[in-house]
Amino acid sequence: MENSKSKDDYEFPETLPVLPLLSTVIYPQGVATVQVGFEENIALLRGNPEADALIALAFCDAQTGGEIRKESLSRVAVVSRILDRLKLPGGSYQVTFQGLRRVEIVEFLQEKPYYTARIGPLVEHVSDPFKVNVLVQKAINLFERLVAYSPNYPKELIHILKMNIDSPGRFADLLCSSLNFEYAEKQKVLQAVGIEPRLQRVIELLRGELDRVKVAQEVEKRAKGDIEESRREYFLRQQMKTIQRELGEEELNQKEADEYQLKFDGLGLSDEVAREAMREVERLRHIQPSSSEYQVIKTYLDRFFALPWGIETQEHIELPKVRDALDIGHFGLERVKERILEFLAVRKLNPSHKGAILCFAGPPGVGKTSLGRSIAEAIGRKFFRISVGGVRDEAEIRGHRRTYVGALPGKILNGLTRAGCMNPLLMLDEIDKIGSDHRGDPAAALLEVLDPEQNNTFTDHYFNVPFDLSKVLFVVTANYLHDIPRALLDRLEVISIEGYTENEKLEICKRHLVPKVVAEHGLKAHAPAFSDATHLEAIRNYTREAGVRNLQRCLEKVCRKIAREQVEAGEAAEAKSIVPADLDVYLGGQKHLHDEAVDRDEIGVANGLAWTATGGEILIIEALRMKGKGKLIVTGKLGEVMKESVQAAASFVRSRAGELGVEGPGFDEIDIHIHFPAGAVPKDGPSAGVTVTLALASLLSGLPIRHDFAMTGEVTLRGKVLAVGGIKDKLLAAYRANIAHVALPRANERDVTEVPEEVRQNMTFHLIDHVDELFELALIGYHRPGAKSSLDDVPTSSLDGPHAEGPPTA
C-alpha cells in the first residue's frame, strides 16, 4: 500500500518551465508523444535543449481557441522528463514525455517567452486502507466485465492492472490512461490528489463506459437481426417470382409500368422532367405490388400524370366584353374596373408580358373574390380559388417530401390539377392571414410563386421536378395590407376596394342581391317586392358594414320566413310587398341605431374616425374631470401608440390653458378621465390625437363641441396636425353616420379625391394644419384669445346634457 512517499518520489528543482497541453493528459509513470506547435511551447523547447530536461506539464480546463492564459491552466501539474524530440516540417516538434509525479503550481514567475513557475510537492494520502482495497477490487471487476463485452480492450490489461494493485494511486492512473475517456474526465482524475476520490471517479467512468458498450452491442445485434430478416424476405420473394413465372401469370407491376410508359406520348415534357418520371416508372417495374413502396410510387405517378402538362385554354381578351361582365357582376368600383381593363389591355397587346400580380385589398363583403371570378369568365380562363388564410406550414405551398408518410403536393400544383390547365386564373384568398411557426414560413414560399422572373421553374417538394407557373394569372385578396410581409407585398400591385356608400348599397341590393336571394329560395313564382324605403331601412338600421355581406344575410332571413309562409299557405300563396315596418317582424328590433355619432352638442365628447380591417368606424371619445391629484386616466383597451398620443394631446392642451380660458394652479387638484367606448375592442394608432385634443380643450374651457363634426389626424406637442391613413374608409363611415363636417390633415388632401362624388357633394371637408384651426371650427363660442377664468369655475362635461354645469363627477 502507498505511503506518504512513493518509490518514484524524486527530488525536483523548485522552479520549472511550464508547458500547457490542450488535448492530452499524461499521468505519472505514463509515456505519451505530443505534437507541440504553440509559439510559447516551441520557445520552451528551444530554451531547454537538454536530452532529459525536466518540465511541468499543465493542462487547460477547456479549449481556448488558440490563446492560452495562465488563468485557464489547472494548478495540478505533472513533472515530466523529455525522452525524445523531433523537429517537424513547418517548425513544430514531436516530443515524447515521461510523467514522473503530480505537483502543485504554487506561483507563475514568468509568461514570456514561455511560462515558468514555482512548484510544490503533492502528497497522496490513504485515509482508509481497507476501503481503498475494496475500491481497487471493484474497479478490477468492472474492467474485467468491460473487456468481456468489448473487443477494443485487450485482456493483457487485466494482468498489468493486477500487478499494480499494491500502488492504488498508480493503479487508478494506469486504468484511466488505458480507457477511451473524454479529455475533461481524464483531467478530473488527474486533479484528484486523494487516492479514494480518484478511485471512486475512475469507477464511475468505468460504469458509464460499460453501459455504453452494452447499448452499442444491443444495437448491433438488433441491426444484424434486421439484416437477416431482409435477406430471408428477399429469398422468399425471389422464389415467389419464379413460381409466378412458371405458372405463366403476368406480373401486375410490369403491366402498370407499361401503361405509365404509354402516357409519356404527347405530354411535351422537358428532358429533366421526363428523366425523373421515367426513373420512377422503372422503379415501379422492379418492385413487387405487395411492397409498401409500390403504392407510394404508384400514387406519385398517378398524381404526376394528373398534372395538366401542356394543356392550355384559349384566352380571349375583348375589353368591351370584360367591361360588360364587370358591370353585370359589380356595381360601382369604377376605379377598380379601370385598372383591371388597363391590365388586360397590356396582356392583349403583349401576351408574353410578365405583368404585376393584382392584389384586391379591402374590407369583407365588397366583392374581391367575385371580381376575380368575373375576370376569369370574361377572358375565357378557368377559375380556381385557393384559401391560404391560416396556413402556417410551408409544405402547404411547396408540398411535402415523399419521405414522409401521407405526403401530398402543395396547394399550388393541386389547384392546377383541379383546374385542369396550365393557364387558369388562380386566386390566393386571404393572403394577409398567412401565419408562420417552426414548420416554416409559407409567405416566403409564395415569393417564388408570385415572382414572374422565378415561377417558370417552380419546384414542388413532392414531385421534385420544375413546373412552369408563368402562364398562370395570379390574383390575390387581402383585408389588411399591414399584415402582409414586406417582401411579398413588394411583388403585388395593390388595388384598394373600399366600402360602398348608402346609394351604392341600395343599387347593389336592387340589381344583384334581391334577384339572387329570391331565386335561391324558390320564390320566383310569388316574388316578394321590396321598396327602396325597405332597403334603406335594412341598410341603415340592421347592418353596419363596409360591404354588403350582412345585408344579404338580412334578405335571406326575410326570404326564409316568406318561403315558410307560402308553403303553409299552399295554393293561396301570393306575392307580398315588404315595407319597412315588416322588417321589425322578420328581423326583430333594429340592430344598429343611429347612436354611433354624438347626436347633440356636448362638452368633452367628440366624434373621432377610426379604421379597421372591416372598414371605417366612428370612434367617440369622452373626457371627464373630477376632484383629484392631477392624474390622467385613460381607459378603453388602448395600445401603446394611442396612449402616447393621448399624453401628447394632454400636454399640448395644458400648454394652451390660458388661451382656452383656464388659469391658476388647479390642474394639480383635478383628475382627468379619457374614455374610448367599446372597451372590449382593442384600439391603437395615432390618428385619434386631434379628437383627444379637442375633447380635452372642450372639457377645460367649458365650450361644447359641434355634434355634426368629426375629425382624424395625428397631433404633435406643438399642435401640428400630421397625415394619417385610411381616409377614404373613414370618410365613408362619417357619411354613413350623417356627419356633415370632417376635419382632415392638409397633407391628406390628395386622398379626398378618391372619395365617391356622392360623399363629396354631401359633406364639407376642412383641411387643417394646426389644432387651433380645429378649435375655431368645432368649439362653439371659441375665439382666440379666449376669456380667462378659474379652473374651479369651469363646468364639467356630462353625458346627460349638452351644457350641464355642476361639481365634478366620476
Q: For this structure, is 687 an active site residue?
A: yes
First to last CA, the chain: 91
3-state DSSP helix/strand/coil % of the chain, to nearest 5: 45, 20, 40
Of 21, 38, 6, 126, the residue nearest 80 (C-alpha): 21
Side-chain-facing half-sphere of 475: CA atoms under 13 Å: 25
Active-site annotation holder among 368, 683, 728, 730: 730
Distance between CA atoms of 360 and 366, rounded to whole angstroms?
10
Helix/strand/coil for 611: strand
Q: Across the strands, what pairs with 34?
A: 95
Asked whether the CA dihedral 563, 569, 575, 577 is positive or negative, the reply is negative
Q: Across the strands, what pairs with 425?
A: 383, 473
Longest CA span, the chain: 127
Tell me the C-alpha to C-alpha distance, in Å, between residue 476 and each of 376, 471, 479, 510: 13, 16, 11, 29
The CA-CA-CA angle for residues 180, 185, 191, to 5°, reads 125
The secondary structure element, H or E, covering residue 496 is strand 492-496
Distance between CA atoms of 413 and 386, rounded to whole angstroms?
11
- In the sheet that 741-745 helps form, which strands lie side by side, from edge to edge? 632-635, 670-675, 615-627, 605-612, 709-711, 741-745, 764-768
Q: Are 800 and 776 in contact (CB under 8 A)?
A: no
Strands 492-496 and 473-478, how do they pair?
unpaired
Q: What is the DSSP letter of 738?
A: T
Distance between CA atoms of 455 and 447, rounded to whole angstroms?
9
The CA-CA-CA angle for residues 68, 73, 79, to 5°, reads 115
Residues contacting residue 705 through CB under 8 Å, at least 6 positions apart: 598, 601, 602, 603, 604, 605, 606, 694, 695, 698, 778, 779, 780
Q: Are 733 and 612 in contact (CB under 8 A)?
A: no
Q: Across the strands, what pairs with 623?
A: 674
Distance between CA atoms of 435 and 441, rounded to whole angstroms?
7
Helix/strand/coil for 669: helix
Active-site annotation holder among 6, 687, 698, 797: 687
The secondary structure of 76-100 as a DSSP string is EEEEEEEEEEEE-TTS-EEEEEEEE
Q: Across the strands, what pairs with 744?
A: 767
Asked whether the CA dihedral 184, 190, 194, 200 is positive or negative, the reply is positive
Tell me the C-alpha to C-alpha distance, in Å, between residue 604 and each of 125, 633, 638, 728, 805: 88, 14, 19, 26, 12
Helix/strand/coil for 65: coil
Of 720, 733, 736, 731, the residue nearest 764 (C-alpha): 731
Tell me the C-alpha to C-alpha distance, in Å, between residue 1 and each of 5, 127, 165: 11, 11, 8
Q: Are 739 and 607 in contact (CB under 8 A)?
A: yes
Phi, psi of 650 (to 5 degrees): -65, -40
Distance between CA atoms of 642 and 681, rounded to whole angstroms?
13
Query: Cα 777 to chain center, whole Å?
Result: 46
Residues labelled catalytic: 687, 730
